[in-house]
C-alpha cells in the first residue's frame, strides 16, 4: 500500500535520506528504528506529504503522491492519522477541540458531532471525561493519548507514530505501547512507527527496518533480525536494552 523508492532528502548541506527503499503492505505493523537524528521523522513527514523529497517517489495505493495536486493531496492526508513526537496539542484549545480539529477542517461537523467524536475516541484511549480539560491540565502520557485520539478521529487507514514513547516515564510509556497494540489488533489499521527505543519497537511491531546513514540497512522480522550477521545491526542491538518478549 505504501512504497518508498530511492528517497533523498537534504536540508542545506545536511544529507538526511540517501536512497531509502521500503514497502509497507496492508495490515503491516512496521517499526523503523535507528539512532536519534537518523532521519526517521523526516521519512514520516515525506509519507504524509508534509515534506517533498529532493529525489525519489512515494506511492500510496499505486499513486505517486509527488504528482498529486493540492486538493488530491489534502484528500490523501485524510486517510492518515499521525501521533507527533510531542503530541503537538494546541494549548488554547480544550481536549475535544484538539481531538477533532482535523475533522473540523474538512467541514460537515457540528459542535455536537465534534464532542461525540471526541468522547468516542477518548474512550478508546482511556481518557473518558477529559474532553473539556486543557493541555496544561494533562500529564505527558495523557497528552500523548489525546494525540492518539486525534489520529483516530480521522478514521484513518494508516497511523504514523513518531517516537511514541519518547519523554515518558516507563509506566506511561508502556501504557502507550499497550494502546498501540490494542488499536492495531482491534482496528486492523496499517501502522508505521519510528523510534530509537527497541523495547517499544519489539512490543508494537511485526516487521522492522533499520535506518542507517540515510538508507534502510535491514528489513525483516524480529527472528531475522536476531539471526542477522550484519555487524552494524548487531552492534546497534548489543547497545540497546531489549527486554520485551511480547
Locate the domains of the chain by residue range. Answer: 26-49+69-238
The answer for residues whose C-beta is within 8 angstroms of residue 78's C-beta and 6 or more apart is 102, 106, 154, 156
The answer for residues whose C-beta is within 8 angstroms of residue 30's C-beta and 6 or more apart is 22, 24, 191, 192, 193, 205, 206, 207, 208, 209
Better-scored residue on pLDDT, 152 or 208: 208
Closest CA to 161 of 202, 212, 189, 195: 195
Whether 58 contacts 221, CB under 8 Å: no
Ranked by mean pLDDT, the top range of 2-16, 60-74, 101-115 is: 2-16
Whether 189 contacts 156, CB under 8 Å: yes
Q: Distance (Å, rounded) from C-alpha 141 to C-alpha 52?
A: 31
pLDDT surpassing 80 at residue 2: yes
Select the CATH number that applies to the domain covering 26-49+69-238 from these four: 1.10.150.530, 1.20.140.10, 3.40.50.300, 3.10.20.30.
3.40.50.300
pLDDT digits (tens, 9 = 90+) for 192-214: 999 888 888 999 999 999 999 99
pTM score, whole prediction: 0.87
pLDDT surpassing 60 at residue 241: no
pLDDT surpassing 70 at residue 123: yes
Amino acid at each position: 500500500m505504501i512504497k518508498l523508492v530511492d528517497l533523498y532528502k537534504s536540508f542545506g548541506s545536511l544529507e538526511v535520506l540517501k536512497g531509502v527503499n521500503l514497502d509497507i503492505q496492508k495490515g503491516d505493523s512496521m517499526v523503523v528504528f535507528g539512532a536519534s537524528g537518523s532521519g526517521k521523522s523526516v521519512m514520516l513527514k515525506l509519507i504524509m506529504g508534509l515534506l517533498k523529497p529532493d529525489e525519489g517517489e512515494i506511492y500510496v495505493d499505486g499513486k505517486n503522491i509527488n504528482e498529486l495536486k493540492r486538493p488530491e493531496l489534502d484528500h490523501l492526508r485524510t486517510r492518515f492519522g499521525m501521533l507527533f513526537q510531542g503530541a503537538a496539542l494546541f494549548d488554547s484549545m480544550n481536549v475535544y477541540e484538539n481531538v477533532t480539529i482535523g475533522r473540523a477542517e474538512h467541514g460537515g461537523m457540528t459542535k455536537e458531532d465534534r464532542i461525540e467524536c471526541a468522547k468516542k475516541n477518548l474512550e478508546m484511549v482511556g481518557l473518558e471525561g477529559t474532553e473539556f480539560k486543557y493541555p496544561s491540565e494533562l500529564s505527558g502520557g495523557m497528552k500523548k493519548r489525546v494525540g492518539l485520539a486525534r489520529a483516530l478521529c480521522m478514521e484513518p487507514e494508516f497511523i504514523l507514530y513518531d517516537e511514541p514513547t519518547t519523554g515518558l516515564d516507563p509506566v506511561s510509556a508502556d501504557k502507550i505501547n499497550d494502546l498501540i497494540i490494542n488499536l492495531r489488533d482491534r482496528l486492523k489499521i496499517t501502522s508505521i512507527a519510528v523510534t530509537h527505543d527497541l523495547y517499544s519497537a519489539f512490543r508494537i511491531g511485526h516487521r522492522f527496518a533499520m535506518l542507517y546513514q540515510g538508507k534502510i540497512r535491514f528489513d525483516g522480522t524480529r527472528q531475522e533480525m536476531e539471526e542477522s550477521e550484519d555487524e552494524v545491526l548487531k552492534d546497534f542491538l548489543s547497545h540497546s536494552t531489549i527486554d520485551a518478549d511480547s
